[in-house]
Structure 1
Amino acid sequence: MSTTGTGIRVASVDDIEEGEALKVPAETTGHGDAIAVFHDAGEYFALDDTCSHGQASLADGWIEDGEVECPLHSARFCLKSGQPQCMPATVAQRTHRVEVRDGGIWLHPGEETTA
């Protein structure tokens, strides 16, 4: 992982397989929570890693059809907006901008995406 003025390079595009996620530690991002970077349908998304409902890592969840399902209580969140899609979650996950550049995946912690 490398840092520049234009984000943090967290992986190469070949490092995160389709339907998988990478957990980037808070120490690396300088953010209050670890950030999960998801690969779904050829796109990359990033959300705060800790589920807003319970203390579970969303990077360990199931990714499908633009959503991630929490491994603890099965709450689902939209990867684009962070909005909860079902109970028991009622609070959205914070999103972070991700870009693919020069074969790498660049994370911009604290820069929310617009869904």
Structure 2
Amino acid sequence: MSIVLVRNGERVHALADECSHAAVSLSEGEVSRKGIECWLHGSCFDLETGKPSSLPATEPVDVYAVDIRDGDVFVDVTVTTN
């Protein structure tokens, strides 16, 4: 399992590092105000919910709980929010 970490202001988000449309790495995409965009076909995924906000993706990606303690980032891969 691969996870992409995205820092957005003070928040850190953890999402599955695979586009639900084309099974390519989201970590190679770009982050914008809308979320993280897949580099291959341009699907954008919300950082909070993992839901796609643009086609061609129609299925969400998994989003994982993140806890930051003493500057370290911990990701709970047993709990997804979608």
TM-score scaled to structure 2, two decimals?
A: 0.91
Unaligned runs of 5+ in 1: 1-32
Aligned-residue offset at 1:66: 4.8
1:90 paired to 2:58: yes
Question: RMSD value over aligned CA atoms?
Answer: 1.4
Amino acid paired to 1:73: H
Match of 2:27, SS? helix
Q: How many equivalent residue pairs?
A: 82
Q: Is the 8 A contact 1:40 1:66 kept in 2?
A: no
**Identity over aligned residues, as a percent?**
32
Aligned-residue offset at 1:49: 0.5
TM-score scaled to structure 1, two decimals?
A: 0.67
Alignment partners' CA distance in 2, 1:64 and 1:40: 9
- Kindly name which structure, 1 or 2, has the bigger radius of gyration based on alpha carbons: 1
Amino acid paired to 2:57: A
* Corresponding residue number in structure 1 for 2:19: 51
Alignment partners' CA distance in 2, 1:66 and 1:111: 23
Aligned-residue offset at 1:55: 2.4
Identify which of 70, 73, 81 aligns with 2:41: 73
Unaligned runs of 5+ in 2: none
4+ long deviations beyond 3 Å: none
Aligned-residue offset at 1:42: 2.0
